[in-house]
A and B are shown apart, each in its own frame.
Chain A
Amino acid sequence: MPELVLETEQTTDPPTVRVAGEIDLSNGSLLSDALDRAFDAGASSLCLDLSEVTYMDSTGLGILAVATNRAVGGGGTITVVGASALIRRLLKVSQLDTVMEVA
């Protein structure tokens, strides 16, 4: 299983989930669990720092879509920072960039 390191910082507003490594089918549940926990802790919006993500497959896309649905449903937003050019293109082609803030 590729390495995926997750770190949630509650002191920022909104809370920041820092993601490092590769996101794929084998470890995607770690990310979705981390995002769920952040929402469960009361956050309506989240900031995702993807600057250390080296690989992301469609699993990651799905997780972002689900998280965005949850944020928007609760009146919040998902902000993505540090996305590489490739992930930006991925967010554009999939149109995820129309429902989340890509900083």
Chain B
Amino acid sequence: MTASGVADVDPAIVPADEKERMAAVRRYDILDTPPDGAFDRVTALAARLCDTPIAIVSIVDSDRIWFKSHHGVEVDQIDRDPGLCASAILNDAPWVVEDAQADPRTLANPLVAGDFGLGFYAGIPLTTSDGYGLGTLCVLDYEARTMDAEQLAHLGDLAAVVMDELELRRAALHSIELESEQRHTAEALARLLQESLLPAELLAIEGLELVARYLPADSARVGGDFYDAFSSATSHGLVIGDVSGHGPRSAALTSQARHTLHALGQGVWSPASSLTQLNRTILEAPTAGERRFCTVAAVRLDPGRDTGFTATVALAGHPQPLILRADGSVEAVGSFGPFLGWQQQPVYEEHAMHLGAGDTFVLYTDGLIDGRAGQEHLDERALLAALAALSGGTPDQVADGLLTALESFDADQRDDIALLVAQVR
């Protein structure tokens, strides 16, 4: 076989539009695909209706004739040159040779003159809607014979069935490709959007080692969780939040929440007043029917006179932050407050505590607001126990250990998980 393939083939059996025809063959992406029951049923039926021992669905490739289905003969493909199908596709009409040994078109053909001893051939071209002959549905016999008009009509109908099958297959392949392309685009977009909801790099806070983890439930869905760290002249802020729902509107609320809290944190702020302010912002935001909600844990860190920090916590519908003390004890801190976007006049209580050297402060979203009833679910005591077991760990070790624990509570991870771990140096 030469590089072009076609060069070995008698030019007489190559259609004038061979290049376009081969493009059409490739479009159907059928060559060398595994056997398929749909085509095998057609060839079995063709052999029965035409009363021939052999029936074939053939595709004419550049240098060979490949059989998508072959009934009555154990051959997968033959060279294009002796193949009668190559001649049959030259015209969009049935190609019938009743006595191949005597017919001048075929008597010298090796399949006829040789061991195979072909006596009869009738092929219907498989023609695309734009006029390209892909191959044939053909019936063969070792004996010379005739075929009546009814049988030829049956063969024509079956060829149309084969063509329909090829079209369906191509449409299915096309939609799968399209879908996968769209999914990739959506995922890329989602990642981009999600990245904009999270700080590129956590702010460095003196005296504190800070790490974050974010595990989206579904990379193509955005708008779940957010976290941030910021500093003003006198204090630092840590926030984490979870927005209801997914999609663009949730992402917009997530972005709004994060940026509102970040902006408020640049001035003199308190966690409770920031939550009240954010609640008002969310309530005043125009909603297109569907309301969105948000939970937030907001923490202000004021550096101590000598070492450590005073942490002031306020919660809006969010689970309590956890503390792993340097001595290995654990506690959950903060008073629950109403989630954001619900009440007109919510009251948020602040709760302050000291964080000393070696203490680890943990903010998390656990998908609690997407809680599953009957099954195993997040148990705060179990989470505190998991945290206690991480005593002595670096912030990275604590974060990874908790991530594993949180994941185990939500095995099919229906919600995002985010973690912010701060350890006092």
Which residues of A come within 8 Å of B, CB atoms?
Answer: 25, 53-59, 61-62, 65-66, 69, 84, 86-87, 89-90, 92-96, 98
A-B pairs with beta carbons under 8 Å apart, 20 shown: A56-B370, A56-B371, A57-B415, A58-B245, A58-B293, A61-B244, A61-B339, A62-B292, A62-B293, A62-B342, A65-B339, A86-B372, A90-B369, A90-B371, A93-B295, A93-B315, A93-B317, A94-B317, A95-B317, A95-B338
Chain B residues near A96 (CB-CB < 8 A): 338
Chain A residues near B308 (CB-CB < 8 A): none
Q: How many A-B contacts are there with CB distance less than 8 Å?
A: 78
B377 at the interface (CB under 8 A from A): yes
Q: How far is the CB of B276 from chain A (nearest CB, A)?
A: 14
What does DSSP make chain B's interface, helix, strand, loop or mixed? loop
Chain A residues near B358 (CB-CB < 8 A): none
Q: Which chain A residue has the least Cβ–Cβ distance from B415?
A: A57
B325 at the interface (CB under 8 A from A): no
Contact, CB under 8 Å: B373 / A59:
no
Q: How far is the CB of B339 from chain A (nearest CB, A)?
A: 5
Contact, CB under 8 Å: A57 / B318:
no
Q: Can you name 9 extra interface pairs (CB under 8 A) apart from A54-B373, A57-B370?
A: A25-B245, A54-B374, A57-B414, A58-B369, A61-B293, A62-B293, A66-B291, A69-B342, A86-B378
Within 8 A of A (CB), among B191-237: none
Contact, CB under 8 Å: B373 / A61:
no
Chain B residues near A95 (CB-CB < 8 A): 317, 336-339
Contact, CB under 8 Å: A86 / B338:
no
Q: How far is the CB of A101 from chain B (nearest CB, A)?
A: 17
Tell me, in angstroms, the Cα distance from A87 to B375 when the chains sit together.
12
Contact, CB under 8 Å: A55 / B293:
no
Q: Which chain B residue has the least Cβ–Cβ distance from A94?
A: B317
Chain B residues near A84 (CB-CB < 8 A): 373-374
B82 at the interface (CB under 8 A from A): no
Chain A residues near B315 (CB-CB < 8 A): 93
B373 interface neighbour in A56, A66, A98, Cβ under 8 Å: A56
Q: Which chain B residue has the least Cβ–Cβ distance from A66?
A: B291
Among A65, A66, A87, A98, max chain B CB count under 10 A is at A65
Contact, CB under 8 Å: B370 / A58:
yes
B13 at the interface (CB under 8 A from A): no
B265 at the interface (CB under 8 A from A): no
Tell me, in angstroms, the Cα distance from A9 to B10 when the chains sit together.
83
Tell me, in angstroms, the Cα distance from A57 to B317 when the chains sit together.
13
Chain B residues near A66 (CB-CB < 8 A): 291
Tell me, in angstroms, the Cα distance from A94 to B315 when the chains sit together.
9
Query: Which 10 pairs across A and B sit closest by C-beta, in order of nearness?
Result: A58-B244, A84-B373, A57-B370, A95-B338, A94-B317, A58-B369, A86-B371, A65-B342, A55-B372, A86-B377
Q: Which chain B residue has the least Cβ–Cβ distance from A92?
A: B336
Contact, CB under 8 Å: B368 / A93:
yes
B372 interface neighbour in A54, A61, A65, Cβ under 8 Å: A54
Q: How far is the CB of A10 from chain B (nearest CB, A)?
A: 26
Tell me, in angstroms, the Cα distance from A62 to B390 when the chains sit together.
35
Contact, CB under 8 Å: B319 / A62:
no
Q: Which chain A residue has the least Cβ–Cβ distance from B244?
A: A58
Tell me, in angstroms, the Cα distance from A50 to B373 when the chains sit together.
10
Tell me, in angstroms, the Cα distance from A89 to B369 when the chains sit together.
9
Tell me, in angstroms, the Cα distance from A62 to B317 when the chains sit together.
12
Contact, CB under 8 Å: A94 / B369:
yes
Q: How far is the CB of A3 from chain B (nearest CB, A)?
A: 14
Tell me, in angstroms, the Cα distance from A40 to B369 when the chains sit together.
28
Q: How far is the CB of B285 from chain A (nearest CB, A)?
A: 15
Contact, CB under 8 Å: B373 / A53:
yes
Chain B residues near A94 (CB-CB < 8 A): 295, 317, 336, 338-339, 369
Q: Which chain A residue has the least Cβ–Cβ distance from B339?
A: A94
Among A58, A62, A90, max chain B CB count under 10 A is at A58
Chain A residues near B375 (CB-CB < 8 A): 54
